[in-house]
Structure 1
């Protein structure tokens, strides 16, 4: 796991992969998904790589 991935910014401090000092994700890649059948807004998308710290 990286210290930070400069390509993935993240402010979700409760995620186990968040570098809280720099506000970046520590993963090489993330999976983005949706909880809606036909997403039309940003709020309809989710980081499916999230794990609770």
Structure 2
């Protein structure tokens, strides 16, 4: 977490992200970028928060 001020306009439950507000389920960024990985996003599974950056302590997705 780089900034301790939660942005009440951006809810977030991804505690592994360095921008998560810690004790509150909000992002600390002023704005986020949402990306899609399909030509046409037809469901939530086709989108991602492209502003996500993993906390250093996280080892998610490593083999």
Q: TM-score, normalised by structure 2?
A: 0.77
Unmatched 5+ stretches in structure 1 = none
How high is the TM-score relative to the length of structure 1? 0.90
- Pair member with larger Rg: 2
Q: Which has the higher contact order (CA 8 A, sep 6+)?
A: 1
Secondary structure, in 3 states, of the residue corresponding to 2:45? helix
Alignment of 1:1-53 (within 5 A): 1=3, 3-53=5-55
- Write the deviation string for residues 10-48 of structure 1: whole angstroms up to 9, x where unpaired: 000110000120110000000001111221001111000
| 8 Å CA contact retained: 1:2, 1:27 | no
For the residue of structure 1 that corresponds to 2:8, the secondary structure is strand
More strand by share: 1
